[in-house]
Amino acid sequence: MSEVAQLRGVSKRFGDFTALDAIDLTVSPGEIRGFLGPNGAGKTTAMRILVGLLQADAGTVEVLGGNPRRDHQVRADLGFLPSDPGLYGRMRGAELLDHFAALSQREPVLRERACALLRMDDADLARPVRTYSKGMRQKIGVLQAVQHDPTLLILDEPGEGLDPLVLAGLVELLRDRRDAGRSILFSSHVLAEVAALCDRVTMIRNGRIIGEGTIAELSDQQARTVIVQLADASATVDLPGCTLVDRTGGRVTLTHHGEVRPLLAALAALDVRDVRIEEVSLDTVFMDYYRDEATA
Amino acid sequence: MNGPLIARLVREQRVRLPLEILLIGAWGFLLVAVFATSDVFTKQLEAQAKQFGGLLDLIGLDPLAQWASIGFQHPIFLLGGGLFAVGVGIRAIAGELEAGSLALALSRPIARRTWFLSHLLVLVVGCLIISEAYALGCLLATAFTSPMGHLEASWMLLAGAQGGLLLLALGGIAFVISAFSSERGRALSWTVGIVVILYAGNFLLPLWGPTKELAKISPFGWFNPAPLLQRGDVAWGDWVVLALYAAIPLAVAAWQFARRDLAGG
């Protein structure tokens, strides 16, 4: 099946600054794709190219079988939430949603359910948008993107400013859409949200894609922490794929890369009192990928 | 054109535009009412009538028509109409881009051309209504206060249309600057600066021989409704220049808006 959205070798420069450097990014039908990267990495630029707001300098862009910049009808099946959505403050919430549904040329078939999940009631929708708090503005931003049940949702930091209850509703809403066969590309700094929601993750840094895969695949590429408590404090430890980090008596801390089976076999041959292999969290994966930049 | 988009633009103007129409209409009404009721004007006109007899009529000079034409070129009319025209032009692109609403709207199946033309329609209709409001205000006051002199309704309405063209030219300047900018404040500053220079240039440049011809670059110099209101003489050349003054910046704005990146907001 063809991809719902695809960037191939896409580059974008703003003057001397290279925002994107020949990146590839795909969103498959019925998948939730997480898009991770530090501030200024190029996430928003890539998303705006997918929506047709920016023109790529090089490479090809295909969204829902067309070019979103040239074929504006392609965007009828698209839902977009920018990182800082500009909402018409004088409109009431319901008016604003009606307006964007009319611009989308689609019925807001999902509004009721999405409102319930995001805890947005009629009284909220009857108020002018300018009276909304940051969280309320974010909720109505998500609603305008989702309400017409688009085939592709592009959400830039959708969880920003939402309280945990609403965030749980958002996660349920997005899973629900994925289960209905819709595709979602979303960026986030909340790694727990990405880990809970995403089928696949693409990581970007300095305009380049530096990692892609499922959370498990990305975790496998990262170092695990292995803590071994030896019965004999003077025993020699030489474990496959491991690098010694610290040794205090019989307690040895190592980092491990690669296949876990040879490691387990080697551990079984040792006189070990206790072993702990720490699961690699997405935070660790994220930090490892971005460590170079942080220390640069 | 896009129905929901135009409906929103009209809704946005539901307070401001009627207020501006009322202001400009009241300006026309007051101008003629003051002319009709002021002793100064009446005595002057009576004296002139005694002095020159039917000469004023003979040469086709009607003081009321002259008075009404001054109102068309007065800063109150230009400011009232200009506020609307410049406001629409600046908000259409730079304003909505900075606010972030342009990104939301254009992520919908709306062509940039449609966005541009919808705003242009509101600009054209608004400028025309505001300008005609002045003409109607003058005509209404003429009917109520019976001043000395005569205002021909069709000539007033035609002058109103030409005034609308001048306002459209100001809107065109705002549109083109807006299309090249991502910041509302900067676009507004540039537009106001250019409009003020063009307005001042229309009066100051002709005062010095070497710059006299340069005054023609100001659109304000191409709007003189006096001959039309006095004698019904339509200066079609002035209309063409004003139309070009509006059309060229608008065409450049449309071209730039279609190709530019929308990275602000």
Q: What is the DSSP string of B70-139?
A: HHHHSHHHHHHHHHHHHHHHHIIIIIHHHHTHHHHHTTSS--HHHHHHHHHHHHHHHHHHHHHHHHHHHH
pLDDT score recorded for residue A239: 85
For residue B89, CA distances in Å to A146, B164, B218, B260 come to 31, 15, 19, 17
Q: What is the mean pLDDT of residues A52-67?
A: 93
Cβ-nearest to B261 among A54, A78, A104: A54
Q: What percent of chain A has pLDDT over 70?
A: 92
CB contact under 8 A, B4 and A102: yes
φ/ψ of A127, rounded to 5, equals: -90, 150
CA-based nearest distance A42→chain B, Å: 12
Quote the mean pLDDT of chain A: 88
CB contacts, 8 Å: A144 with chain B: 104
pLDDT digits (tens, 9 = 90+) for A129-162: 999 999 999 999 999 999 999 999 999 989 888 8
DSSP chain A: ---SEEEEEEEEEETTEEEEEEEEEEE-TT-EEEEE--TTSSHHHHHHHHHTSS--SEEEEEETTB-TTT-GGGGGGEEEE-SS----TTSBHHHHHHHHHHHHTS--TTHHHHHHHTT--HHHHTSBGGG--HHHHHHHHHHHHHTT--SEEEEESTTTT--HHHHHHHHHHHHHHHHTT-EEEEE-S-HHHHHHH-SEEEEEETTEEEEEE-HHHHHHTSPEEEEEEESSTT-----TTEEEEEEETTEEEEEE-S-SHHHHHHHHTS-EEEEEEEPPPHHHHHHHHHHHHHH-
Rg (CA), chain A: 23
Task: List, in order, residues 6 or more apart from B79 with CB less than 8 Å away.
Answer: none
Rg (CA), chain B: 21
Mutate to test the interface with B, among A13, A77, A87, A88 (most CBs of B within 10 A): A88
CA angle in degrees (0–180, nearest 5) for B63-B65-B71? 105
pLDDT score recorded for residue A159: 87
CA-based nearest distance B185→chain A, Å: 17
Contact A197, A28 (CB under 8 A): no
CB contact under 8 A, A72 and B111: yes
Quote the mean pLDDT of chain B: 89
Give the whole-angstrom CA distance, residue A13 versus residue A15. 6
pLDDT score recorded for residue B265: 46
HSE, CB side, 13 Å, CA atoms: give it for residue A95.
16
Is the pLDDT confidence value at A275 over 50?
yes
pLDDT score recorded for residue A296: 47
More confident residue, B131 or A84: B131
CA-based nearest distance A203→chain B, Å: 22
Q: Which of A47-61, A80-94, B29-43 has the lowest mean pLDDT?
A: B29-43
Q: What is the mean pLDDT of residues B1-27?
A: 92
CA-based nearest distance B49→chain A, Å: 57
Cβ-nearest to A103 among B5, B99, B265: B5
Nearest Cα neighbor of A259 from A275, A284, A274, A239 is A239
CB contacts, 8 Å: A72 with chain B: 109-111
Which two structure tokens, joined as six digits, stand for A121? 């009631």
More confident residue, A295 or B25: B25
pLDDT digits (tens, 9 = 90+) for A101-111: 999 988 999 99
pLDDT score recorded for residue B48: 65
pLDDT score recorded for residue A127: 95
- Name the residue with tokens 């409704």: B225
Element housing B28 (H / E): helix B16-37
CB contact under 8 A, B261 and A53: yes
b/e sequence B9-39, b meaning 16+ C-beta within 10 Å? beebbeeebeebbebbbbbbbebbbebbeee
Is the pLDDT confidence value at A175 over 70?
yes
CA-based nearest distance A92→chain B, Å: 12
Give the whole-angstrom CA distance, residue A113 versus residue A296. 46
pLDDT score recorded for residue A199: 83
Q: Which of A70-79, A221-230, B2-11, B153-162 has the lowest mean pLDDT?
A: A221-230
Residue type, A80: F
For residue A33, CA distances in Å to A1, A83, A274 come to 17, 17, 38
Q: What is the mean pLDDT of residues B2-24?
A: 92
Chain B residues contacting A, CB < 8 Å? 2-5, 8, 12, 96, 99-111, 259, 261-263, 265
pLDDT digits (tens, 9 = 90+) for A229-239: 988 888 888 88
- Name the residue with tokens 């930049």: A293
Give the whole-angstrom CA distance, residue A218 versus residue A224. 12
Is the pLDDT confidence value at A115 over 50?
yes
Which two structure tokens, joined as six digits, stand for A26? 């795909």
Nearest Cα neighbor of A45 from A21, A29, A77 is A21
CB contacts, 8 Å: A53 with chain B: 103, 106-107, 261-263
Task: List, in order, residues 6 or more apart from A161 with CB less than 8 Å away.
Answer: A134, A135, A137, A138
pLDDT score recorded for residue B56: 53
- The length of chain B is 265
pLDDT digits (tens, 9 = 90+) for B83-119: 999 999 999 999 999 999 999 999 999 999 999 999 9
**DSSP code of B182?**
S
| Count of Cβ atoms closer than 10 Å to residue A154 Cβ | 29
HSE, CB side, 13 Å, CA atoms: give it for residue A133.
8
CB contact under 8 A, B263 and A53: yes
CB contacts, 8 Å: B105 with chain A: 100, 103
Mutate to test the interface with B, among A72, A78, A129, A137 (most CBs of B within 10 A): A72
CB contact under 8 A, A103 and B110: yes
Cβ-nearest to B109 among A45, A48, A104: A104
Give the whole-angstrom CA distance, residue B244 versus residue B216. 13
Give the whole-angstrom CA distance, residue A156 versus residue B96. 19
More confident residue, A146 or A195: A146
Is the pLDDT confidence value at A257 over 90?
no
Nearest Cα neighbor of B74 from B39, B28, B33 is B28
- Name the residue with tokens 């009529």: B57
Q: What percent of chain A has pLDDT over 90?
A: 51
CA-based nearest distance A102→chain B, Å: 6
pLDDT score recorded for residue B247: 96
pLDDT score recorded for residue B54: 55
Which pTM was predicted? 0.85
pLDDT digits (tens, 9 = 90+) for B206-216: 888 888 888 88
Q: What is the mean pLDDT of residues A10-26?
A: 92
Nearest Cα neighbor of A277 from A236, A219, A233, A231 is A219
